[in-house]
Amino acid sequence: METAQHIRILDTEGQLLATAAEEAGTDAKVPTCPGWQVRDLVRHTGMVHRWATAFVAEGHTSYHPGEGLPDLDGTELLTWFREGHRRLVDTLAGAPADVDCWSFLPAPSPLAFWARRQAHETTVHRYDAESALAGTPSPIAVDFALDGIDELLLGFHARKKSRVRTEVPRVLRVRAEDTDAVWTVRLSPEPPVSERGELTGADCELAGPAAELYLSLWNRRPFPRVTGDSSIATLWRETSAVT
């Protein structure tokens, strides 16, 4: 996907998140994030937005900590969130393509990284905010869901800090049934090695529509369909949280 697409999605998803949070109320529980209320979700996502903005706007070329969570609630918190989200969108949209700043996953450029990462960060947390409401959550486009699965498998879980590991080598297959997209994930005592394609036999397969798989792999909903050794699906549930 192009950077401009990611920025447009980030813009839309942030607005949807704010609307859902306002409708639910900041004291509502967030079913997809046990122990969190909507205020926790909004504070966290707003802090991440400001953290990301600082890298692009201020050109930090090494890790730079965020500002921390604000002591705000209710209308003031939602206003703070909307202001930070708008600044992030505007900063990314106005940044030069060759902006130099720190990033932490492979990408064509730092700008492409931050636009992609914040689009997915905000989409998953928009889903969290909407889970605090009754009704059907906003849809996620197939191409964007596939992009997010790619980011998670080939980006986050290629890092040394991934805890998705097995003592005995195993193979996990991820299959988006509404497209021809397939990933092969090799598990071992080392970090997972993920590749696109059906490259070998699998011990376990996770399959379903791309958008459902995307949310499932981020541990937001049950896997649509599990075949083979279900203990590998359980391992993912228990160890794949990104920190």
- Look at residue 175 and give its three-state secondary structure: strand
Residue 62 to residue 82: CA distance in whole angstroms: 27
pLDDT of 71 above 90: yes
Asked whether 128 and 41 are in contact (CB, 8 A), the reply is: yes
> Is the pLDDT at 14 greater than 90, yes or no?
yes
Q: What is the pLDDT of residues 42-64, one digit of tens each?
A: 999 999 999 999 999 999 999 99
Q: pLDDT band at 123, cuts 50/70/90?
A: very high
Which of these, 170, 181, 171, lies nearest to 214 by C-alpha position? 181
pLDDT in tens, 172-214: 999 999 999 999 999 999 999 999 999 999 999 999 999 999 9
Q: What mean pLDDT value characterizes the chain?
A: 97
Q: In 132-176, where does DSSP find H-type helix?
A: 142-150
